[in-house]
A = this chain, B = another copy of it.
Amino acid sequence: MSAKKKVSGKKSGAGRGRKKTVSKPRTAKKASKIKRARRAKTARAAEHRASSSHKYYYFFGPGKAEGDASMKDLLGGKGANLAEMCNAGIPVPAGFTITTEVCNIYYEKNLEVPKAIDKELEKYVAVVEKATGKKFGDSEDPLLFSVRSGAKFSMPGMMDTILNLGLNEKTVEGLGKKTGNQRFALDNYRRFISMFGNVVLSIDKDLFESVITKKKSERRVRQDSSLQVNDLKDIIKKYKQIIRRKSGEAFPDDPFDQLRMARDAVFRSWNTPRAISYRRMNNIPSDLGTAVNIQAMVFGNMGNKSGTGVGFTRNPSTGDKEFYGEYLVNAQGEDVVAGLRTPQPIEQLADEMPQVYKQLKTITSRLETHYRDLQDFEFTVQEGELYMLQTRNGKRTVQAAIKIAVDMVKEKLIAKEEAIMRIEPKQLDQMLHPSIDPKASFEVIARGLPASPGAASGKVYFTADDVVRHGNNHPAILVREETNPDDIEGMNVAVGILTARGGMTSHAAVVARGMGKCCVSGAEAIRVNAAKKRFQVGKLVIKEGETITINGSNGDIILGEVPTIEPELSGEFAEFMDWADGIRKLGVRTNADTPRDAQKAIKFGAEGIGLCRTEHMFFAEDRIPIVREMILADSTEERQAALDRLLNFQKKDFKKIFDVMGGLPVTIRTLDPPLHEFLPRRAEIEEKIETLDRKSDEYEEDLERLKKVLRRIDELSELNPMLGHRGCRLGIVYPEITEMQTRAILEATCELLKDKKQVRPEIMIPLVGHVNEFKNQKEVIDRIANEVLHRKKIKKLEYLVGTMIEIPRAALTADEVATEAQFFSFGTNDLTQMAMGFSRDDAGKFLNYYISEGILPFDPFVKIDETGVGQLIQMGKEKGKQARPDLKVGICGEHGGNPESIHFCHRIGLDYVSCSPYRVPIARLAAAQAALTENDSAERE
């Protein structure tokens, strides 16, 4: 349908036809029909754009419009919705939209609108004149305009509204006469001049404000509304002087000059630094451009029968189905924003203007049914007449979003599938962690990166040891310059982590997210002095034991304790997630190293453990000395003795975890990090040597012992530990380590089996690059398994042995590896490091630059680099399944909790993703959406 046709078809009553569509309820069953209809609509819009590149203006007015809701690309969200409302017969002041194409042309033509296009402006003004019966620039009954920007996606940072455009010395007189209210007219005029001066001519608002302030103090009044006609005239005169002084030119009297200047200002606002950076952060393309909406003014400030307000069709905080909003009598929109007067709850409108209230309820409810979503609307009442100024899908909390989606399914407004598609998986994070009580007031002393969501208060400590020492008595927050693997145990005990250095993918951030613990990283304003046990923010010094609160959801660092609230998972949440589970095909497991994590993940719906890192169990205070004994051992015998002691610890850990998981699969990775990570730092030992008592009898012995540690540290130190002696390379050179771990896993299994419990252990060999490495370790595992079975007198024991695919070569030779391995789990963190040659610990030096300069489109540690790393994953999966059709394939890197990466995993046919406990619901939802998206594209083809 071309635009022309639509305009010409207006006689046939678009209103009626639309009405039917709007009021028609859409049941869940009809969802696919609706989808088809929508697609047809989108196709029409595209066709339309293609065939009418000459059409740059779109009229809308009561009962009819040239555009519709599908044309957001061209008309922006606001313009498209205004058109849609008109078509639906909803009262909207007449106006027109200048398309986003004109914005792009404006930039192409060096900030100028070509004459041919510009000329049409007057034509469309005339159409609005006709619709309203007023004349633009008329001295009797002047038509005034509001001018607003409106891009496809709502974008803060762009131009807001200019009201009352068209006023000048002549029309202001006319307005006064026509309304019989000269003060009203002058007040509009002075608002217009300052808005125009500020928004179009970039003159500081305060200059205008101070004129009024001065006038009010002269007149000894407190409210603007107390100023009289002469005061306003004086103010207007002064405003115009400011304009001339600051812009070098007189305030434009010609209404068309005003209109063109405002239009261009809207176009320019598309490229303010704030708008650009917003777009970059939100992945909005820069070539969309903004539309300009030019709409006849209606006045909420024409007396007590007038007013203006905003509202939601449901409560956007809770999702409850209640009419929600507020309004101001005798006011223009900006008064609501300015906050000088307190608006009234919308229910009062029912008493004050019952007719209007009823109409508003009817209209907005129709809008909700039409858009099948929560509406956020603006309205103005002019002398008892209701006008809708805007409607759009309302922003809401994730709690509300879920409740609304679930309710709408029950109301048969939308299908379950659509409900699932409505929630941005990442948003779920908000509701799963404790958050700062919204009622609390507090002082933010600094801000860092929101590295891991949630909020926590606690006493600060500056070493992991101190946290471990005190953290069991009271909540402790670990504050470090940056963390390293030595700090794991401290991080585990702490309620939150704060670092001065490191980005969103630093050690602290990654580990904290894995633990579901809040973390603020890279707070560059804080200076940490661990030696003196304190940190500073400017001149403020916070010492060990003082209490702070950190908010990992927004990066706030707050002095003192702030109350937090625990998340409550509603019944709707459970219902919603059930639907998602019914739709998704991908399994969702969790990365969990402790029974506590496992418990949490189960609560969040995990279907097993996809990665249990045994090394985290090595860092506990009672174990690390034994681990060090093992590393310092001079002989296999000594090493074995230490391992024998570790065995009991590990076995206990595994039993607890198996027990929590109650028969769900548990994938346990054998020891992975290089041994030097378990040793103390060189400096620490050097200090110990210096402080040894030289007179002590044990001096020589102690010195020798410490020197041995130093030597071992040197022996084990590596230039590139990431590519060094770790992963299965440890288990191969020191088979006794793998033996101990296997024994711990399988003895734990046997003991639980004897208690009639279900256990499904899966042993995972890390860092395999060659099938022979896997064979070597599998031989050890099978041998020990037989031994354990025999000793425990168990006949049969089912366990799988698989591998992590995290070395490119493993993916390249997955067919060989799969001849031996029973499952693959892609370790996408390391795979990304090696495939792209990025050390995550060091990439900060260039990765941020790469992303900000567009050299990389996104951070590959957050979202899978499908083009490169993704190829390896796909290849690995395909070669693997070729060699062993029943091979289980999943991923367990950080990407397992990233919705876009989950889509990728679904698309290439993996069996499951595994992510940290807090991300399990996100993964479940993303997996369901991936399945729906696929159905959708399949249907389209």
Contacts and interface: CB of A to CB of B under 8 A. Distances in A.
A388 B838 CA distance: 66
A730 to B, nearest CB: 8
A220 to B, nearest CB: 55
Interface in A710-747: 718-725, 727, 729, 732-733
Interface in A733-788: 733, 767, 769-770, 772-773, 776
Interface stretch (A114-122, A267-275, A557-565, A828-836): A828-836
Contact of A809 (B723, B837, B853): B837
Interface in A685-727: 718-725, 727
Interface stretch (A199-207, A541-549, A842-850): A842-850
Nearest to A854: B772
B856 A772 contact: yes
Interface stretch (A15-23, A97-105, A868-876, A931-939): A868-876
A838 B868 CA distance: 20
A724 B721 CA distance: 13
A564 to B, nearest CB: 34
Interface of A: 718-725, 727, 729, 732-733, 767, 769-770, 772-773, 776, 806-809, 812-813, 816, 830, 833-839, 841-843, 845-846, 849-850, 853-856, 865, 867-869, 871-872
A842 B772 contact: no
A742 to B, nearest CB: 19
A227 to B, nearest CB: 53
22 contacts: A718-B839, A718-B842, A718-B845, A720-B723, A721-B842, A722-B722, A722-B839, A723-B723, A724-B842, A725-B845, A729-B846, A732-B855, A733-B845, A767-B837, A770-B868, A772-B856, A806-B837, A808-B834, A808-B836, A808-B837, A809-B868, A812-B871
Contacts of A849: 732-733
Contact of A723 (B733, B833, B854): B833
A836 B868 contact: no
A733 B847 CA distance: 10
B838 A773 contact: no
Contacts of A725: 842, 845-846
Contacts of A871: 812-813
A718 B843 CA distance: 9
Given A807-B835, A807-B837, 13 more contacts: A720-B841, A723-B842, A724-B842, A724-B845, A727-B837, A732-B849, A733-B849, A772-B854, A772-B856, A776-B855, A808-B836, A813-B868, A830-B837
A850 B836 CA distance: 26
Nearest to A835: B808
A724 B834 CA distance: 11
Which 8 pairs, one residue from A and one from B, show the smallest C-beta to C-beta distance? A723-B839, A720-B839, A809-B868, A724-B842, A807-B837, A725-B845, A718-B842, A719-B841
Contacts of A850: 732
A769 B808 CA distance: 14
Contacts of A809: 835-837, 865, 868-869
A683 to B, nearest CB: 12
Which of A721, A729, A856 gathers the greatest number of chain B CB atoms within 10 Å?
Answer: A729
A769 B868 CA distance: 9
Contacts of A732: 846, 849-850, 853, 855
A871 B830 CA distance: 20
A674 to B, nearest CB: 9
Nearest to A769: B836
Contacts of A835: 807-809, 812, 834
Contacts of A720: 720-723, 839, 841-842
Contact of A834 (B834, B853, B854): B834
A842 B723 CA distance: 8
A846 B773 CA distance: 12
Nearest to A830: B837
Nearest to A868: B809
A853 B776 CA distance: 10
A258 B698 CA distance: 66
A777 to B, nearest CB: 10
A812 B833 CA distance: 15
Contact of A719 (B772, B806, B816, B839): B839
A839 B724 contact: yes
Contacts of A772: 854-856
Contacts of A865: 809
Contacts of A813: 867-868, 871
A808 B807 CA distance: 10
A879 to B, nearest CB: 10
B807 A836 contact: yes
Contacts of A723: 720, 722-723, 833-834, 837-839, 842-843
Contacts of A845: 718, 724-725, 729, 733
A912 to B, nearest CB: 24
A622 to B, nearest CB: 28
Which of A809, A839, A845 gathers the greatest number of chain B CB atoms within 10 Å?
Answer: A809
A772 B901 CA distance: 22
Nearest to A806: B837
Which of A806, A807, A855, A856 gathers the greatest number of chain B CB atoms within 10 Å?
Answer: A855
